[in-house]
Structure 1
Amino acid sequence: MATVERLKELVEGVTARAGYSSSIGTRVLEVRRGEVTMALDRRSDLQQVHGQFHGGVIAGLADHAAGAAVTTAFPEGKFAVTVDLHVNFLAPALGDSLIARAKALRVGGTIGVSHVDVYSVCAGKEEICAVITATMRAVDFPGTEPARHFKI
């Protein structure tokens, strides 16, 4: 079983890779087996027309956190990819940052289910803005090149 330090290194490494999560500035705050906390600071390009965080950004952060939580609970060498993502938006995310706290609820050999609470943080005060349930599937951990499943 991987140590907490190794799990955090894994999650930080995946988050730092080129792609959506790194381009929006996702930060890894805490990692334990089956649990991950991530954060994202407010930027104008992450807001919708009313100045709050865009719902797609909230869902994207939750999806990444859910996948990370389940990945840390899967057997070594397996990586979680999303099968289903259910988002309930509870309040506008008007804060200076978002925090996503993900917990793997049940993890088997091929499927894992995670719950994520997303909070909008303003002046140090957290207000829940969304709850998410995500179902993840185990695939082989990707190499350095993107997976190519289709022939062109």
Structure 2
Amino acid sequence: MSGSDLNPPELAEAINAKGFMGAAGFRIVAIKPGHAEIALARRDDLLQFFGHFHGGIITALADHAAGIAITSSLPRGKIGVTVEIKVNFLSPADGIELIARAKTLKMSGSIGVATVEVFSKSQTSETLCAFGTATMRAMDLPGELRA
């Protein structure tokens, strides 16, 4: 099957396996058109000096979830790439795992906006630790994903 034939969940899996997302340990939990849920287990190399998840990691997870949410609602052969992202940090992320839940808020032509909630999960609960919005542009898939 060529990349251009991949459906949105397969495409997201292919993208997730490459580069930073795979190295960081991002794990796709769920994808449906316009929605994505991505998780990341706690590791010492992802923490800042107080022992909480680093803000850059939280932002990267939110960005990736938003990109998958937008991409999952685009036609085959297109991918959502970030134009702008804004993240508000609401509480320390000190749990055993981060979970980012993104949904497409609006698609208009080649531009889409997604909202993302990032939760710090403990053994028994989830705490909202960040909220963000991301603007994405629909672009043609890169050649290496089409082959």
Partner of 2:37: helix, strand, or coil? strand
CA contact under 8 A between 1:105 and 1:113: conserved in structure 2?
yes
Aligned AA for 2:74?
F
Cα shift readout 1:15-51 (whole Å, capped 9, x = no counterpart):
011x111110000000000000000001111000000
CA distance in 1, matches of 2:132, 2:30: 19
- More relative contact order, 1 or 2 (CA 8 Å, 6+ apart): 2
Q: Hey, what's the Cα distance between the residues in 2 that align with 1:143 and 1:86?
A: 29
Q: Name the structure 1 match of 2:25.
A: 25
1:144 Cα offset (Å)? 1.7
Identity percentage of aligned residues: 49
Structure 1 residue runs of 5 or longer lacking an equivalent are 146-152
The one-letter code of the counterpart of 1:113 is: V
Could you tell me which runs of 5 or more consecutive residues in structure 2 were left unpaired when the two chains were aligned: 1-5
Aligned residues: 140
TM-score normalised by L of structure 1:
0.88
Find the counterpart in structure 2 of residue 73 from structure 1. Answer: 73
TM-score normalised by structure 2 residue count: 0.91
Residue of structure 1 equivalent to 2:9: 8
Q: How is 1:76-115 mapped onto 2 (pairs within 5 angstroms)? A: 76-115=76-115
Alpha-carbon RMSD = 1.4
